[in-house]
């Protein structure tokens, strides 16, 4: 950890938390099988502490639903610890004496030895808290029978629902649903985040998410949930004795007839992150020579930007004309940092010659597709692509030797060397035309100032989402939030990060 990263943490910046898939988690758990206290005891204790917060001060009855695996074992530990604190606990298992993995069987025996009982079903709805300890990360099919009935019933409850590790029915690797799926108000996940909690359907089913590392220190590197600590080394306060030439020139090419708004949004977003200059090349020949709303933007002929810009973005509102294709070809051999979005990606999708130019670039480009654009790039359907967003983003990054931002709920950022990250900031109000253009502008604004493609992509994605969250906290949105409103909010938050560095 470098000194600057440490200072950011002291100023309240959270580190980027780890993400592991099933195989990584199972390997880590196997290496710590003999630890004292056992991992299951640690998990149950962490979840019990949170449960006590959720039911305070009334401490009404708690319903704990335990399944047939280690997730059920976590539930037995939690139930025992809550009972020791004087809580009324009803523990339910479909097969009270059925076989369990060794650690879970021991947890069940300790619950019984402490005077606890196991019921086969439950009645009523007046619970202070329901704990979902039915199925963990190994579930690969839809819950059935009584378990499915329980999930349907508890989803109708008005009380808080605490899921242990992952809501039962949610695919831990992808965020797909194995219906029915628990819709938790809170999820206590253990050791590391699971991809499925962070992307696709996961955020809508896990509620408030807390990671409990159980005292394990994971190796450096690996997949991470994006936080400012990830790009701390790029956050530097600006000295007073500087000039605009030191902060690069961002260039944006797009804005064909009827689509100038997309290019203007991107250019304005870039301007608000501090490049020394921002050039905008509109393809619409009838467009004026000045942006009356943002006169600081320097409007030029699109072809001139290859000589004027130090970092270049192509695509917002670009169209797919012959002129646009010629500009894209020139962009792919541009020597500086490059971002491709929107129509630039659509033109790229079916052209093998363009693929080759992109892969041959000395510095990886940044590609920012939404799911439909990404599906075209992989020659797949959108549903196929969305079925495993992490795999899809990593495949795109390898195929095009680029940094890929697969936009959507839990945007996935992947590099061609295998590194990948998930961004969890933002909210549903960002589902509006033009948000992607703002994101492209934020990324190119950072690229122009010398940020690496991967750090610029991660930082801009996180910043954009946090800006939208900040606005919603002020009563601006989430529904009805406009893309242009996020630009100034992003500038405000970015400067707050710089001031804390």
Residue 206 has pLDDT above 90, yes or no: yes
Cα(191)–Cα(77) distance, integer angstroms: 17
Is 72 annotated to bind a ligand? Reply is: yes
In three-state secondary structure terms, 383 is helix
Phi/psi at 327 (nearest 5 deg)? -65, -40
Residue 407 has pLDDT above 50, yes or no: yes
Is 194 annotated to bind a ligand? Reply is: no
Is 437 annotated to bind a ligand? Reply is: yes
Residue 124 has pLDDT above 60, yes or no: yes
Summarize the confidence of residues 191-198 as an average pLDDT: 97
10 Å CB burial of residue 359 (0-12, 13-18, 19+) is middle
Average pLDDT, the chain: 94
Q: Which of 27-31, 208-212, 338-342, 403-407 has the lowest mean pLDDT?
A: 27-31
Is 136 annotated to bind a ligand? Reply is: yes
Is 436 annotated to bind a ligand? Reply is: yes
Extract the tokens encoding 224. 């991470």
Is 425 annotated to bind a ligand? Reply is: no
DSSP-assigned states of every residue in 163-184:
EESS-TTB-TTT--B-SS----
Residue 7 has pLDDT above 50, yes or no: no
| Domains delineated in the chain | 22-219 (3.40.50.10260), 228-500 (3.40.1190.20)
Summarize the confidence of residues 308-333 as an average pLDDT: 97
Is 132 annotated to bind a ligand? Reply is: yes
Is 211 annotated to bind a ligand? Reply is: no
Is 480 annotated to bind a ligand? Reply is: no
Is 165 annotated to bind a ligand? Reply is: yes
Band of residue 219 on the pLDDT scale cut at 50, 70, 90 = confident
Is 410 annotated to bind a ligand? Reply is: yes
Phi/psi at 169 (nearest 5 deg)? 105, -10
Is 317 annotated to bind a ligand? Reply is: yes
Is 70 annotated to bind a ligand? Reply is: yes
| Residue 71: closest CA among 156, 218, 175, 194 | 194
Q: Which of 11-15, 31-35, 128-132, 353-357 has the lowest mean pLDDT?
A: 11-15
Summarize the confidence of residues 429-446 as an average pLDDT: 97
Summarize the confidence of residues 281-292 as an average pLDDT: 79
Residue 4 has pLDDT above 50, yes or no: no
Distances (CA, A) of 231 to 254, 446, 482: 29, 12, 27
Phi/psi at 109 (nearest 5 deg)? -65, -40
The pLDDT tens digits for 62-116 are 999 999 999 999 999 999 999 999 999 999 999 999 999 999 999 999 999 999 9
Q: Percentage of the chain surpassing pLDDT 90?
A: 86
Phi/psi at 274 (nearest 5 deg)? 100, 15
End-to-end CA distance of the chain: 14
Is 196 annotated to bind a ligand? Reply is: no
Is 142 annotated to bind a ligand? Reply is: yes
Is 93 annotated to bind a ligand? Reply is: no
In three-state secondary structure terms, 406 is strand
Summarize the confidence of residues 249-262 as an average pLDDT: 94
Residue 10 has pLDDT above 50, yes or no: no
Is 475 annotated to bind a ligand? Reply is: no
């Amino acid at each position: 950890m470098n000194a600057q990263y440490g200072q950011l943490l002291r100023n309240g910046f959270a580190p980027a938390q780890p993400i592991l898939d099933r195989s990584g988690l199972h390997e880590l758990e196997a290496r710590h099988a003999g630890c004292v206290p056992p991992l299951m005891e640690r998990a149950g204790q962490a979840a019990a502490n949170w449960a006590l917060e959720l039911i305070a001060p009334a401490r009404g009855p708690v319903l704990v639903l335990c399944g047939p695996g280690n997730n059920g074992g976590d539930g037995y530990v939690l139930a025992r610890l809550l009972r020791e604190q004087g809580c009324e606990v009803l523990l339910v298992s479909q097969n009270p004496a059925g076989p369990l993995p060794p650690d879970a069987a021991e947890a069940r025996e300790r619950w019984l030895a402490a005077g606890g009982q196991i019921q086969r079903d439950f009645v009523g709805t007046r619970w202070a808290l329901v704990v979902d300890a039915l199925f963990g990360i190994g579930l690969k099919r839809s819950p059935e029978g009584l378990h499915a009935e329980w999930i349907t019933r508890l989803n109708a409850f008005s009380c808080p629902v605490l899921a242990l590790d992952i809501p039962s029915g949610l695919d831990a690797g992808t965020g797909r649903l194995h219906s029915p799926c628990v819709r938790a108000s809170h999820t206590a996940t253990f050791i590391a985040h699971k991809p499925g909690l962070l992307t696709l359907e996961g955020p809508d089913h896990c509620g408030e998410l807390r990671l409990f590392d159980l005292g394990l220190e994971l190796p450096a590197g690996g997949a991470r949930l994006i936080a400012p600590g990830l790009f701390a080394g790029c956050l530097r306060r600006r000295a007073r004795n500087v000039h605009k030439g030191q902060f690069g020139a961002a260039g944006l090419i797009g804005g064909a007839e009827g689509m100038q708004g997309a290019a203007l949004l991107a250019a304005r977003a870039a301007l608000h992150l501090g490049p020394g200059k921002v050039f905008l090349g509109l393809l619409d020949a009838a467009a004026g020579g000045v942006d009356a709303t943002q006169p600081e933007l320097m409007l030029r002929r699109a072809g001139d930007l290859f000589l004027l810009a130090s970092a270049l973005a192509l695509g917002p509102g670009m169209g797919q004309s012959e002129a646009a294709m010629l500009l894209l070809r020139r962009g792919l051999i541009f020597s500086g940092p490059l971002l491709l979005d929107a129509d630039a990606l659509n033109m790229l999708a079916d052209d093998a010659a363009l693929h080759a130019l992109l892969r041959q670039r000395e510095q990886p480009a940044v590609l920012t597709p939404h799911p439909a654009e990404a599906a075209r790039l992989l020659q797949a359907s959108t549903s196929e692509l969305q079925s495993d967003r992490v795999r899809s983003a990593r495949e795109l990054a390898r195929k095009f030797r680029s940094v890929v931002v697969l936009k959507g709920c839990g945007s996935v950022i992947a590099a061609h060397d295998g590194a990948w990250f998930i961004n969890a900031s933002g909210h549903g109000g960002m589902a509006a035309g033009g948000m992607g253009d703002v994101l492209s502008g934020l990324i190119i604004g950072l690229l122009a100032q010398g940020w690496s493609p991967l750090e610029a992509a991660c930082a801009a994605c996180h910043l954009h989402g946090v800006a939208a969250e900040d606005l919603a906290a002020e009563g601006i949105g989430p529904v009805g939030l406009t893309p242009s409103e996020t630009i100034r909010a992003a500038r405000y938050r970015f400067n707050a990060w710089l001031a804390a560095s």
